[in-house]
């Protein structure tokens, strides 16, 4: 699995506080089948806003520690960016890191409300050649109540992430039902860990993928954990045709 949503950099946000904790998380991810991941610290007003250059520097430090201790995890840099106007300018100014420097941006929506500017912000990103990858869609209350919002976002050309552990109920029963529905409808492009540590939101990848296999089968799960994530980190464009029942490759 290539994990495109991970909070592993120590002392940066609400992920691990120390390098020891970060290495423990990395070891657990490898044990669950993750061999490459994008470190995506939060970019919002709650935590100090690390520039793209600083995130890349911290990823390089973390990679040296992983290599030193023989943990076979390849790290890339990115941000998980809370939606707001002006993101294109922030990217161009080097304040925000896209996923491994690609055209893909991990975008977080508000959990409890639907920002009126959502579609406009996404339009501006797409017009600038940036493809938003919407994080943990199953947890947004507005989407839980109205799945047509997902169809509208797909029509704008976004990609959709679901957290693997949501499929086993670790984010609550409502999020679990939402995740299962999104997968069955074919609205999901990536399954991710969104792990923050071994105690605060642990990986849950292996069990989550077992649930996904029961719902979708091997080939479709492969698309979600290998094919689409690889295209993202390699900055490749995959042809996406949106249909009334979801998307087709």
DSSP string of 99-160? GGGSSEEEEEPPSSS--TTHHHHHHHHHHTT-EEEE--GGG-HHHHH-THHHHHHHHTT-EE
For 49, 172, 209, 225, 237, the CA distances from 95, given in Å and listed in that order, are: 8, 33, 34, 28, 24
User: How many helices and strands in the chain, by DSSP H and E?
Assistant: 10, 11
The whole-angstrom separation of Cα 3 and Cα 194 is: 8
Closest CA to 109 of 97, 119, 120, 118: 118
First to last CA, the chain: 19
The whole-angstrom separation of Cα 122 and Cα 34 is: 30
The whole-angstrom separation of Cα 71 and Cα 37 is: 13
Ranges under pLDDT 50 in the chain: 241-249
Pairing verdict, β 80-82 and 74-77:
unpaired
CATH number of the CATH domain containing 162: 3.20.20.140
Q: 3-class DSSP state for residue 86?
A: coil
Beta-sheet strand order (sheet of 74-77): 2-6, 36-39, 74-77
Residue 82 CB partners (closer than 8 Å, separation 6+):
42, 43, 44, 45, 108, 110
Domain that holds residue 181: 2-248
Give the torsion sign (CA, 221, 225, 227, 229). positive
Please give the model's pTM, rounded to 2 decimal places: 0.94
Angle subtended by helix axes 19-31 and 52-68, to nearest 10? 70
Per-residue pLDDT tens over the stretch 195-221: 999 998 899 999 999 999 999 999 999
Whether the Cβ atoms of residue 160 and residue 154 lie closer than 8 Å to each other: yes
pLDDT at 244: 41
pLDDT at 237: 81
Domain count, the chain: 1
For 40, 86, 138, 164, the CA distances from 109, given in Å and listed in that order, are: 15, 15, 11, 18
Per-residue tokens: 206: 């292996």
């Amino acid at each position: 699995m290539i994990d495109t949503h991970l909070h592993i950099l120590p002392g940066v946000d609400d992920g691990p506080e120390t390098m020891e904790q970060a290495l423990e998380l990395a070891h657990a991810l490898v044990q669950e089948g993750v061999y490459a991941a994008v470190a995506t610290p939060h970019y919002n007003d709650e935590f100090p806003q690390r520039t793209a250059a600083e995130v890349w520097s911290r990823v390089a430090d973390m990679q040296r520690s992983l290599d030193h201790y023989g943990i076979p995890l390849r790290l890339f840099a990115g941000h998980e960016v809370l939606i707001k106007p002006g993101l294109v300018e922030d990217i161009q100014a080097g304040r925000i890191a896209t996923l491994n420097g690609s055209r893909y941006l991990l975008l977080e929506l508000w959990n409890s409300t639907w920002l009126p500017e959502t579609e406009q912000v996404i339009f501006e990103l797409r017009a600038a050649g940036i493809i938003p990858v919407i994080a943990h869609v199953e947890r947004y209350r507005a989407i839980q109540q109205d799945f047509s919002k997902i169809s509208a976002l797909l029509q704008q050309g976004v990609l959709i992430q679901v957290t693997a552990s949501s499929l086993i109920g670790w984010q609550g029963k409502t999020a679990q039902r939402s995740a299962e529905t999104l997968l069955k409808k074919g609205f999901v492009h990536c399954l991710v860990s969104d792990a923050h540590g071994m105690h605060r939101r642990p990986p849950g990848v292996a069990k989550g993928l077992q649930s996904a296999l029961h719902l979708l089968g091997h080939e479709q799960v492969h698309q979600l954990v290998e094919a689409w994530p690889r295209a993202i980190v390699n900055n490749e464009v995959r042809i996406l045709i949106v249909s009334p029942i979801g998307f087709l490759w």
